[in-house]
Amino acid sequence: MKVATARFGELDVAEDALFTFPMGLLGFARLKKFVVLDHKQDSPFKWLQSVEDGDVAFIITDPLYFKRDYHVSVRRAELAVIDPDTEVDLVVSVIMTVPADPQQMSANLLAPLIFNMANRKAVQYVLTDQRYPVKFYVMQAWQQELGAESGEAEPRSITLR
Protein backbone atom coordinates (compact mmCIF):
# COMPACT_ATOMS: atom_id res chain seq x y z
CA MET A 1 0.00 0.00 0.00
CA LYS A 2 1.12 3.57 -0.66
CA VAL A 3 1.39 5.88 2.35
CA ALA A 4 1.94 9.63 1.98
CA THR A 5 3.99 11.02 4.87
CA ALA A 6 5.22 14.48 5.76
CA ARG A 7 8.62 13.26 6.95
CA PHE A 8 9.46 10.43 4.53
CA GLY A 9 7.49 11.28 1.40
CA GLU A 10 5.53 8.47 -0.20
CA LEU A 11 6.23 5.03 1.25
CA ASP A 12 5.36 1.64 -0.15
CA VAL A 13 4.34 -0.37 2.94
CA ALA A 14 3.49 -4.06 2.91
CA GLU A 15 0.27 -4.91 4.76
CA ASP A 16 2.10 -7.49 6.87
CA ALA A 17 4.51 -4.78 8.09
CA LEU A 18 1.72 -2.82 9.79
CA PHE A 19 1.03 -2.79 13.50
CA THR A 20 -2.52 -2.32 14.70
CA PHE A 21 -3.11 -0.35 17.90
CA PRO A 22 -6.72 -1.33 18.71
CA MET A 23 -6.91 1.42 21.35
CA GLY A 24 -4.88 3.99 19.43
CA LEU A 25 -2.26 6.06 21.27
CA LEU A 26 -2.76 8.63 24.01
CA GLY A 27 -4.05 11.75 22.29
CA PHE A 28 -4.37 9.87 18.97
CA ALA A 29 -7.14 7.34 19.67
CA ARG A 30 -8.48 7.54 16.12
CA LEU A 31 -5.19 6.36 14.60
CA LYS A 32 -4.90 2.58 14.65
CA LYS A 33 -2.42 1.57 11.93
CA PHE A 34 1.31 2.28 12.14
CA VAL A 35 4.53 1.11 10.57
CA VAL A 36 7.91 1.04 12.31
CA LEU A 37 10.74 2.50 10.23
CA ASP A 38 14.47 2.54 10.91
CA HIS A 39 15.86 6.00 11.71
CA LYS A 40 19.36 5.28 10.41
CA GLN A 41 21.43 2.15 10.10
CA ASP A 42 22.86 1.16 13.50
CA SER A 43 20.72 3.76 15.29
CA PRO A 44 18.87 2.81 18.49
CA PHE A 45 15.97 4.96 17.29
CA LYS A 46 13.07 4.08 15.04
CA TRP A 47 10.03 5.93 13.75
CA LEU A 48 6.46 4.92 14.50
CA GLN A 49 4.69 6.35 11.46
CA SER A 50 0.91 6.51 11.20
CA VAL A 51 -0.38 5.19 7.89
CA GLU A 52 -3.72 6.95 8.42
CA ASP A 53 -2.28 10.44 9.01
CA GLY A 54 1.02 11.14 7.25
CA ASP A 55 1.72 14.08 9.58
CA VAL A 56 1.91 11.84 12.67
CA ALA A 57 5.20 10.08 13.47
CA PHE A 58 6.93 9.40 16.77
CA ILE A 59 10.54 8.59 17.58
CA ILE A 60 10.68 5.38 19.60
CA THR A 61 13.42 3.25 21.13
CA ASP A 62 14.09 0.32 23.42
CA PRO A 63 14.27 1.78 26.95
CA LEU A 64 17.02 -0.69 27.88
CA TYR A 65 19.46 1.38 25.80
CA PHE A 66 19.53 4.02 28.51
CA LYS A 67 17.74 2.47 31.53
CA ARG A 68 18.97 -1.11 32.03
CA ASP A 69 16.70 -1.67 35.03
CA TYR A 70 13.51 -0.60 33.21
CA HIS A 71 10.95 -3.33 33.67
CA VAL A 72 7.19 -3.53 33.23
CA SER A 73 5.18 -6.24 34.94
CA VAL A 74 1.76 -6.63 33.33
CA ARG A 75 -1.14 -8.95 33.99
CA ARG A 76 -1.96 -10.99 30.91
CA ALA A 77 -5.60 -9.81 31.15
CA GLU A 78 -4.44 -6.19 30.87
CA LEU A 79 -2.94 -7.00 27.48
CA ALA A 80 -5.93 -8.98 26.22
CA VAL A 81 -6.41 -6.43 23.44
CA ILE A 82 -3.12 -7.59 21.85
CA ASP A 83 -3.63 -11.27 22.78
CA PRO A 84 -0.12 -12.27 23.96
CA ASP A 85 0.75 -15.97 24.08
CA THR A 86 4.15 -15.49 25.67
CA GLU A 87 6.33 -12.59 26.77
CA VAL A 88 8.98 -13.69 24.24
CA ASP A 89 6.69 -12.29 21.51
CA LEU A 90 6.47 -8.91 23.26
CA VAL A 91 8.74 -5.96 22.53
CA VAL A 92 8.69 -2.82 24.66
CA SER A 93 9.51 0.62 23.27
CA VAL A 94 9.08 4.14 24.57
CA ILE A 95 8.19 7.37 22.82
CA MET A 96 10.96 9.95 22.74
CA THR A 97 10.81 13.74 22.75
CA VAL A 98 13.78 15.34 20.99
CA PRO A 99 13.88 19.14 21.40
CA ALA A 100 16.29 21.52 19.66
CA ASP A 101 18.83 20.86 22.45
CA PRO A 102 19.46 17.09 22.26
CA GLN A 103 20.84 17.16 25.81
CA GLN A 104 17.21 17.65 26.88
CA MET A 105 15.97 14.56 25.03
CA SER A 106 13.47 12.64 27.14
CA ALA A 107 11.59 9.35 27.09
CA ASN A 108 8.08 8.64 28.30
CA LEU A 109 8.72 5.73 30.66
CA LEU A 110 5.27 6.00 32.23
CA ALA A 111 3.40 4.90 29.09
CA PRO A 112 5.46 2.36 27.13
CA LEU A 113 4.41 0.82 23.84
CA ILE A 114 4.07 -2.97 23.91
CA PHE A 115 4.27 -4.72 20.54
CA ASN A 116 3.11 -8.30 20.03
CA MET A 117 5.41 -9.43 17.23
CA ALA A 118 3.44 -12.65 16.68
CA ASN A 119 0.18 -10.98 15.60
CA ARG A 120 1.35 -7.40 14.84
CA LYS A 121 -0.90 -5.83 17.49
CA ALA A 122 0.32 -3.19 19.92
CA VAL A 123 -0.86 -1.09 22.83
CA GLN A 124 0.30 1.93 24.78
CA TYR A 125 0.23 0.72 28.37
CA VAL A 126 0.00 3.35 31.12
CA LEU A 127 1.71 2.28 34.33
CA THR A 128 -0.18 2.90 37.55
CA ASP A 129 2.66 2.72 40.08
CA GLN A 130 4.24 6.04 39.04
CA ARG A 131 7.80 4.77 39.54
CA TYR A 132 8.73 5.92 36.07
CA PRO A 133 8.33 9.51 34.85
CA VAL A 134 6.70 10.88 31.72
CA LYS A 135 9.91 12.87 31.10
CA PHE A 136 13.00 10.78 31.77
CA TYR A 137 16.06 12.71 30.61
CA VAL A 138 17.94 10.21 28.52
CA MET A 139 21.36 11.78 27.94
CA GLN A 140 22.24 11.87 31.63
CA ALA A 141 21.09 8.30 32.15
CA TRP A 142 22.72 7.08 28.93
CA GLN A 143 26.10 8.43 29.97
CA GLN A 144 25.77 6.71 33.34
CA GLU A 145 24.73 3.40 31.75
CA LEU A 146 27.55 3.47 29.19
CA GLY A 147 30.06 3.96 31.97
CA ALA A 148 28.68 1.09 34.05
CA GLU A 149 30.02 -2.41 33.57
CA SER A 150 27.38 -5.09 33.37
CA GLY A 151 28.13 -8.78 33.79
CA GLU A 152 24.45 -9.64 33.92
CA ALA A 153 22.46 -11.51 31.32
CA GLU A 154 20.54 -9.43 28.81
CA PRO A 155 17.64 -7.82 30.66
CA ARG A 156 14.02 -8.25 29.58
CA SER A 157 11.83 -5.19 29.88
CA ILE A 158 8.52 -7.04 30.37
CA THR A 159 7.05 -9.85 32.43
CA LEU A 160 3.56 -11.27 32.05
CA ARG A 161 1.86 -12.31 35.28
* CATH number of the domain encompassing residue 20: 2.30.290.10
Contact in structure between 137 and 106 (CB atoms under 8 Å): yes
Alpha-carbon distances, residue 100 vs 5, 30, 61, 132, 133 (angstroms): 22, 29, 19, 24, 21
- In three state form, how does the secondary structure of 78-90 look? HHHHHCCCCHHHE
- pLDDT per residue over 127-143, tens digit each? 987 889 999 999 887 66
Nearest CA to 92 out of 80, 104, 79, 102 is that of: 79
pLDDT at 150: 53
Tell me what pLDDT residue 146 has: 60
What per-residue confidence (pLDDT) applies to 56?
A: 98
List, for residues 16-33, the tens digit of each pLDDT value: 999 999 999 999 999 999
Low-confidence ranges of the chain (pLDDT < 50): none
pLDDT at 82: 97
Distance CA 9, CA 6 (A): 6
Range of the domain at 59: 2-148+155-159
Average pLDDT over the chain reads: 91
Q: What pLDDT is stored for residue 12 in this prediction?
A: 95
The pLDDT value recorded for residue 147 is: 60
Give the CA dihedral 16, 94, 71, 122, nearest 10 degrees: -30
What global pTM score does this model have?
0.88
Q: Compute CA 134 distance to the chain's CA centroid, rounded to the nearest angstrom.
A: 13
The pLDDT score that the predictor gives to residue 55 is 97
Total tally of structural domains belonging to the chain? 1
Residue type, 103: Q
